[in-house]
């Protein structure tokens, strides 16, 4: 049985842990906060219980998956892992420091992957002494539902690393798409400017928030409108990605909408604060 060590027990890390355990991998889920690990295990358990109730999973398979997940507050388990997936905060300095540590702890044949949505894989790899084994594995939220993994090659990523990561992605039941290292990769490079343009349209009074969202749902068959999606993602996250695109390409087409900047400054970040382009009951 292959072992996956996951760094960070937030929404993405816990989702990756669930999928890996359901797929038969032995999982160690790391976080510095024990309370976060407790929340992650409760979330995973709840998700699996719902699958059992919907008869998409047997009780025995649920119990087996939970038994394959060990929660830890130390990085010692990295030494035995075949794949290390970093799903920590989207902070460049933190990731560079973390990958230097992971590189020193991991066995030579292990793959070091980052779930980053915006930070350069080439830059992350350069923080290690074995950059050829570093790759981006960008999962999408909610991980148990979304089929895509963007597999991002840094300048140094070896063919062997890519092939191993691709095989594991498929073993997780996901569909990997090969992507070159570039700001925003594929999905965020296309999605976030669309959301940003919807904010420009609202700012200019082209239509109401409800009108813009309804038009995109009915006219483009989107399951959710771009402004409601921005609220779901978090306006601070949307702004951060737009800033990465703007700085990375130096192209004015990626400039963040002034209304987006103002909303973030006002602390109206969407669902997580109870108000964004819409109001939410906490």
Please report the domains of the chain, with CATH numbers, ordered by start residue.
Answer: 3-180 (3.40.50.720), 189-272 (1.10.1040.10)
pLDDT band at 126 (very low <50, low <70, confident <90, very high): very high
For position 220, what pLDDT does the model report? 98
Radius of gyration for the alpha carbons in the chain, expressed in angstroms and rounded: 20
Give 252-277 pLDDT, tens digit per residue. 999 999 999 999 999 999 999 999 99
77 cis-preceded (ω within 30 degrees of 0):
no
Could you tell me which of 101, 107, 54, 114 has the C-alpha nearest to residue 80? 107
Question: d(Cα 237, Cα 231) in Å, to the nearest integer?
Answer: 10
- Residue in the block written with tokens 């398979």: 61
Q: Which two tokens stand for residue 20?
A: 């890996």
Q: What is the largest CA-CA distance in the chain?
A: 57
Give 178-226 pLDDT, tens digit per residue. 999 999 999 999 999 999 999 999 999 999 999 999 999 999 999 999 9
pLDDT at 1 over 80: no
Q: Which two tokens stand for residue 218?
A: 């009915």
- The pTM score is 0.92
For position 89, what pLDDT does the model report? 86
Pairing of strands 134-139, 111-114: parallel
Could you tell me which of 123, 124, 185, 136 has the C-alpha nearest to residue 162? 136
Could you tell me which of 138, 94, 122 has the C-alpha nearest to residue 182? 122
Could you tell me which of 186, 190, 193, 185 has the C-alpha nearest to residue 121? 185
How far separated are the first and last CA of the chain, in Å rounded? 42
Could you tell me which of 8, 1, 15 has the C-alpha nearest to residue 29? 8
H and E: helices and strands count for the chain: 11, 8
Question: d(Cα 133, Cα 92) in Å, to the nearest integer?
Answer: 19
For position 91, what pLDDT does the model report? 86
Mean pLDDT (whole number) for 111-131: 96
Q: Which two tokens stand for residue 136?
A: 């981006």
The CA-based angle 82-84-90, given to 5 degrees, is 170
CA dihedral sign, ordered 144, 147, 153, 154: negative
Are 222 and 216 in contact, with CB atoms under 8 Å apart?
A: yes
The residues that are catalytic are: 117, 138, 150, 188
The CA-based angle 104-1-38, given to 5 degrees, is 70
C-beta atoms surrounding 277 within 10 Å: 25
């Amino acid at each position: 049985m292959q072992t996956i060590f996951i760094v960070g027990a937030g929404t993405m890390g816990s989702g990756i842990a669930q999928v890996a355990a359901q797929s038969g991998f032995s999982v160690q889920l790391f976080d510095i906060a024990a309370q976060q690990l407790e929340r992650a295990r409760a979330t995973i358990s709840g998700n699996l219980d719902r699958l059992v109730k919907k008869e998409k999973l047997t009780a025995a398979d649920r119990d087996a998956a939970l038994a394959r997940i060990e929660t830890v507050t130390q990085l010692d388990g990295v030494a035995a892992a075949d794949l290390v997936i970093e799903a920590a905060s989207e902070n460049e300095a933190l990731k560079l420091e973390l990958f230097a540590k992971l590189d020193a702890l991991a066995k030579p044949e292990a793959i070091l992957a980052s779930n980053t949505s915006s930070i350069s894989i080439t830059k992350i790899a350069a923080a290690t002494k074995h950059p050829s084994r570093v790759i981006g594995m960008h999962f999408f939220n909610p991980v148990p539902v979304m089929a895509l993994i963007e597999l991002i090659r840094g300048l140094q990523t070896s063919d062997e690393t890519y092939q191993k990561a691709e095989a594991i992605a498929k073993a997780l039941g996901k569909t990997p798409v090969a992507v070159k290292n570039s700001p925003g990769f594929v999905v965020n490079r296309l999605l976030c400017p669309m959301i940003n343009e919807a904010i420009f349209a609202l700012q200019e009074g082209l239509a109401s928030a409800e009108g813009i969202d309804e038009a995109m749902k009915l006219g483009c068959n989107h399951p959710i409108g771009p402004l409601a999606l921005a609220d779901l993602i978090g306006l601070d996250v949307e702004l951060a990605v737009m800033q990465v695109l703007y700085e990375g390409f130096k192209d004015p087409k990626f400039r963040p909408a002034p209304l987006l900047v103002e909303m973030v400054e006002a602390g109206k970040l969407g669902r997580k604060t109870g108000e964004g382009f819409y109001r939410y009951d906490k």
